């Protein structure tokens, strides 16, 4: 008798004691394990159910000894006997073919019981079926409760076409071009967050149009082809295209295009209405690009300061959506028109005076510029 699972060392004493107790009474194996099931249920959870042989199953079902010998000598196994019929009606016909002599109702019941036990044993010991290959959307998702974070699963071309068709139907006045169409990765990120209802702020460097993403991808490929001594991780890791965000590297036109691209992505995913995000980023840009006279000693926020402000504002909107079950349109209206966070985060900053350039000493008229 073989056990399917290993058990702790403390359970050996329990098993030996039980075996000695039942050896005195010559009880069958099935009675021992029935006793364990009711008296020591925790033992079976550790040890596991024993794998009974075909002859043991027949004996436990009280099949006649001559019939047991006949089935074993003919080469029958537990798996074969379990699959010899798919129903009790079919099994009755199989019994007639196996045994020429007439069977009493009790003998037929014993054989049916043995057939049922063989089926149960085969189902418990069968290997788990190999799971079908998961789709990229399912395969890319992290397991629940794990710390692994990956990029959003890539949308298929059919899904993108369906999203674009719905957007054109909802906003017939808007024209989708490569210059304003969100990149596939950005659109996938927004759709993935909506499907999970787990919204997070998307950094500005990933808010690319389709044309800008293709430009960065092509330039990145050509650079890697000419590089020498490339590290292994730079080849294996899929680093997404991203634009550089710095105080001197992003103009007003690029900033407006970035906001418009993100608004298109949110509207295409049907997270919110396009006008809600337009009202937000137009007021954002208006406060950010204010001009001040030099006499005031004030300046507007830099690009990095504006990005931090956008992150704080979007985090507030996300909290309203996820914690208080607001709609995105209501949350954006709250942040844009009701609360003062937008004005306070983009308020003018004091402009630091330029450091004075130290005067260079003049040695033409004397030592250290002194005469005499």
Residues 220 and 177 occupy one common structural domain: yes
Residue 368 domain flag:
no
Single residue among 107, 125, 143 that ends a domain in this structure: 125
Q: Which segments of the chain have a pLDDT < 70?
A: 1-51, 100-101, 124-151, 220-238, 249, 356-357, 359-372
Residue 188 domain flag:
yes
Residue 140 domain flag:
no
Residues 75 and 157 occupy one common structural domain: no
Structure tokens at 72: 């074993």
Residue 372 domain flag:
no
Residues 208 and 313 occupy one common structural domain: yes
Q: Give me the helix-helix angle, 303-323 and 274-288, nearest 10°.
A: 150
Residues 107 and 173 occupy one common structural domain: no
Number of domains in the chain: 2
Residues 34 and 176 occupy one common structural domain: no
- Please answer whether residues 292 and 303 qualify as being in contact, where contact means their C-beta atoms are separated by less than 8 angstroms: no
Residues 341 and 266 occupy one common structural domain: yes
Structure tokens at 180: 């304003």
Q: Identify the pLDDT of residue 323.
A: 93
Residue 333, domain extent: 152-224+242-350
- Please answer whether residues 153 and 189 qualify as being in contact, where contact means their C-beta atoms are separated by less than 8 angstroms: no
Residues 199 and 309 occupy one common structural domain: yes
Residue 146 domain flag:
no
Residue 369 domain flag:
no
Q: Identify the pLDDT of residue 320.
A: 96
Residue 371 domain flag:
no
Q: Identify the pLDDT of residue 192.
A: 93
Residues 60 and 204 occupy one common structural domain: no
Q: How far is CA 251 from CA 245, 265, 302, 303, 308, in A?
A: 10, 21, 11, 9, 17
- pLDDT tens digit sequence for 109-131: 888 888 888 888 777 655 444 44
Between CA 190 and CA 194, with CA 192 as vertex, the angle to 5 degrees is 70
Q: Identify the pLDDT of residue 124.
A: 63
Place of tokens 């009755």: 92
- Please answer whether residues 271 and 314 qualify as being in contact, where contact means their C-beta atoms are separated by less than 8 angstroms: no
Q: Identify the pLDDT of residue 48.
A: 46
Residues 308 and 161 occupy one common structural domain: yes
Q: Identify the pLDDT of residue 136.
A: 39
- Return the bridge partners of 2, or none: 51
Residue 25 domain flag:
yes
Residues 255 and 309 occupy one common structural domain: yes
Single residue among 108, 125, 142 that ends a domain in this structure: 125
Residues 162 and 68 occupy one common structural domain: no
Residues 76 and 211 occupy one common structural domain: no
């Amino acid at each position: 008798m073989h056990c399917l699972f290993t058990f702790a060392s403390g359970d050996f004493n329990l098993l030996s004691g039980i075996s000695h107790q039942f050896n005195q009474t010559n009880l069958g194996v099935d009675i021992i394990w029935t006793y364990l099931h009711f008296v020591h249920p925790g033992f079976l959870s550790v040890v596991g159910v024993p794998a009974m042989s075909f002859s043991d199953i027949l004996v436990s079902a009280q099949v006649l000894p001559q019939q047991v010998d006949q089935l074993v000598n003919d080469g029958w196994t537990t798996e074969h006997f379990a699959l010899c019929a798919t129903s009790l009606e079919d099994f009755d016909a199989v019994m007639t073919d196996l045994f020429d002599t007439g069977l009493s109702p009790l003998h037929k019941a014993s054989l049916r019981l043995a057939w049922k036990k063989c089926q149960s044993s085969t189902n418990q010991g069968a290997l788990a079926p190999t799971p079908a290959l998961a789709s990229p959307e399912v395969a890319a998702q992290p397991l629940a409760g794990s710390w692994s974070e990956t990029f959003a699963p890539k949308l298929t071309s059919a899904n993108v076409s369906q999203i674009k068709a719905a957007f054109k139907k909802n906003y017939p006045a808007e024209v989708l071009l490569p210059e304003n169409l969100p990149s596939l990765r950005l659109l996938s990120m927004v759709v993935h967050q909506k499907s999970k209802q787990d919204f997070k702020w998307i950094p500005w460097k990933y808010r690319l149009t389709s044309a800008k993403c293709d430009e960065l991808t092509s330039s990145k490929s050509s650079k890697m082809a000419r590089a020498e001594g490339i590290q292994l991780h730079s080849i294996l890791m899929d680093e997404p295209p991203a634009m550089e965000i710095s105080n001197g590297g992003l103009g007003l036109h690029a900033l407006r295009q970035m906001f418009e691209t993100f608004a298109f992505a949110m509207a295409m995913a049907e997270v919110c209405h396009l006008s809600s995000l337009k009202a937000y980023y137009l007021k954002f840009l208006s406060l950010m690009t204010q001009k001040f006279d030099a006499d005031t000693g004030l300046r507007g926020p830099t690009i990095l300061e504006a990005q931090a402000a956008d992150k704080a504002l979007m985090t507030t909107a996300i909290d309203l959506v996820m914690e208080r079950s607001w709609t995105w349109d209501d949350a954006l209206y709250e942040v844009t028109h009701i609360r003062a966070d937008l004005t306070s985060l983009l308020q003018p900053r004091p402009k630091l005076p330029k450091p004075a350039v130290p005067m260079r000493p003049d040695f033409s008229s004397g030592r250290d510029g002194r005469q005499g």
